[in-house]
Amino acid sequence: MHRSHVDGVPVFRFSEPGPLHATLRFGIAAGDETYRTLGISRLVATLAAHATRHQIPGLAEPVVSTSLDETRFAVSGTHQEVSDCLEVLCVALADLPVDGLSEVAHTLDGELASSLNLRTAGALNARYGSQATGLEGHERSWHYLPTPDMLLEHAATWFTRANAVLTLTGPNPAGLRLPLPPGDRPRRSAPQARQPRTSWTHRNIDGVALSVETPVTSAAAAVAHRILRERVTAAIAGQSLPAAPAEAATALHDSVTVVRLLHTYTPASDAEGVAATMWSEALSLARNQPSAAEVARHRSPSDEAGEKLRTLDDAARTELFGTPFLDEGSRRHALECVTPRDVRDSWQRVMERAQLVVPQGLLLHLTGPDGRRLWCTSCWTWDEIPPGGQVFCQPLARRMLRRTAERHWVILTGESVVSCKPGAYHELRFDDVIALERWGPERNLIGRCGCNVGVDPAWYRGGQRLIRALDDAVPAELAFDGSELAPLARP
C-alpha cells in the first residue's frame, strides 16, 4: 500500500492495472449530527455531488454513501475523469451550492431517514440513547430539512482537508488536485452506554437484536461474533422458529471500541422464543470453549477477495478516527493465533455488558451471566410510586369517558416531567432533553433515552401553565417551531 498526500489530504493506494477507483472519505455522518440536523451530512454530500454534473457536462456524478461515521464519494474511470470529478467536487464542498437545496431534497425523498436497518438502529439507540451512534434509532414523526445557513456551517466545519482521506486502487494519479477548504481536526467524545450491566430492553423493532462492546483489535471477539451468528441461525432453524437467518453488523464507537451486533427478523408473536434462543446461545459461548474445528472454520477472513479494500478502509479509519491499524498480514496472523479458550474468554468479558433488545410488549424471564434474573432497563417504571410534584390531571369529564387503562396524567418536578398511567410512569429529566418541538400550543419533548413525551394543554387541567413551565425548563437553543419547518420525509 502506497501512502502520500495531495493538497494536505492523506492518500492511500494499491497499485492495480485498469481503471482508477477513488473514494474520498470524510469523518462525518449521523454519529456527529443532532436530532435537529440528522441527515444533514448526506444533504451536503448530495448537493456537492450534483454540482459536479452541472459544472462539467458529461462528467459522471460521484456516488454518495453514508454510514454512522463516514460520508463517502466514490468515483471510477480514467485518470482524467477521476481527477476532474474530484477537483470539481472539492470546489463544490468549499462553496456549497445551497440554491439547489429544494431540488436535491425532493430527489432524496425518504433516503435521509436512516442508513441502518431498524434492528441495528434500535439496538444502538437502546445502548447509547438518542445521541452519537444511537441517534438514528430514535423514533421520529418527521425528518426536517436544514436551512441553507445550517448546511453551509456544517460543510465548513466537517468537509475540510483536516477531516478527509482519499483511498485509491489503480495506477498512480499524477497531477491530482484536492482543493478542499482548511479546517480544524475534529474532536469527538463517544457517549458511555446508558446501562452499566447486562440487560434487556424494548424498542420498536421488527425482530430481536443483541449488542456488545469489544476492543477494535480483538481477533478473538471477531471470531466469537462469527461463531455466534452461525450457532443462532442453526438453533433457530432447528427449532423451526419463524425467523430469518441471523445477521451480523458492527459500528465503530470510539478509537478503541467497536459495537458488535447480531440481529434477526421475526414476527412479534414469536420474538420471545427467538430472544430466548439467541440469549441462550450467547451465554453458552461465554461459558464453554467452542471446538477447535469450529474456531478454525471462522479464523480465516470473512472475505478474502476484499482484503485490499479492508486494508484501505482500516488505514482511512486510523487517519480519521485514530483506530489502531493492522495491515493485511498482521490481521491474518492475529486471526490464526486465536484459540478456543481465547474465544470463550473474550465473549465472557463482553457479555458482562451485553444488551438484548426485543419488540414492545414482551416480558422476558431470562437469566444473566451471573445466574440472576436478567435486568430490564425499560424507561417505564412499573408498580412504584412516581416522584412527587405538581400534578396535572385530565378534566373530570374526560376521565369519566375513558377506561381506567387509558387514563394518564403528568407530574412536574423541579428537575423533570413525569408521564404517568395506571401502574407505571416515565420520568424525563430536563437535563436529558435533546430537543423541544413546538407545534402550536402543543409540545413534544425529545429525550436522550430514546423516548418522546408529547403534551397537549387541552388534555389537562391547568395545561397552559404546564406548557409555560416546560418552555422555561428547556434551554432556548434546544427548542424550535416544528410547524414552521418543511418536513422532508416521513421515515
Instruction: Give the CATH number, domain containing residue 250.
Output: 3.30.830.10
Same domain (yes/no): 309, 224: yes
261-296: pLDDT as tens digits: 999 999 999 999 999 999 999 999 999 999 999 999
CB 368 within 8 A of CB 198: yes
pTM: 0.89
Asked whether residue 405 carries a pLDDT value surpassing 60, the answer given is no
Q: How many Cβ atoms sit within 10 Å of the Cβ of residue 287?
A: 12
Phi, psi of 85 (to 5 degrees): -65, -45
Q: How confident is the model at residue 464 (pLDDT cuts 50, 70, 90)?
A: very high
Calculate mean pLDDT across residues 352-377. Answer: 93
Domain that holds residue 284: 199-376
Among 329, 350, 376, which residue terminates a domain?
376
User: Is residue 217 over pLDDT 70?
Assistant: yes
Residue at 424 is within a domain: yes
CA distance 441 to 463: 10
How large is the average pLDDT for residues 114-124?
85
Helix (H) or strand (E) holding 126: helix 118-128
The domain total for the chain is 3
Which DSSP letter does residue 373 get? B
In this prediction, residue 419 has a pLDDT band, given cuts at 50, 70 and 90, of very high
Query: Is 185 inside a domain boundary?
Result: no
Q: Is the predicted pLDDT of residue 491 greater than 80, yes or no?
A: no
Taking alpha carbons only, the member of 173, 178, 167, 252 closest to residue 215 is: 252
Same domain for 51 and 30: yes
pLDDT-wise least confident of 281-295, 300-314, 375-389: 300-314
Domain for residue 300, yes or no?
A: yes
Poorest-confidence range of 24-28, 205-209, 305-309, 356-360? 305-309
| Closest C-alpha to 266, from 231, 239, 284 | 239
Q: Are residues 231 and 358 in the same domain?
A: yes
Quick: pLDDT tens for 26-49.
999 888 998 888 889 999 999 999
pLDDT of residue 490: 39
pLDDT band of residue 489 (cuts 50, 70, 90) is: very low
CATH number of the domain to which 406 belongs: 2.30.29
292: left (phi over 0), alpha (psi -120 to 50) or beta: alpha
pLDDT at 174: 84
Across the strands, what pairs with 89? none
275 and 137 in a common domain: no
Together in a domain, 225 and 340: yes
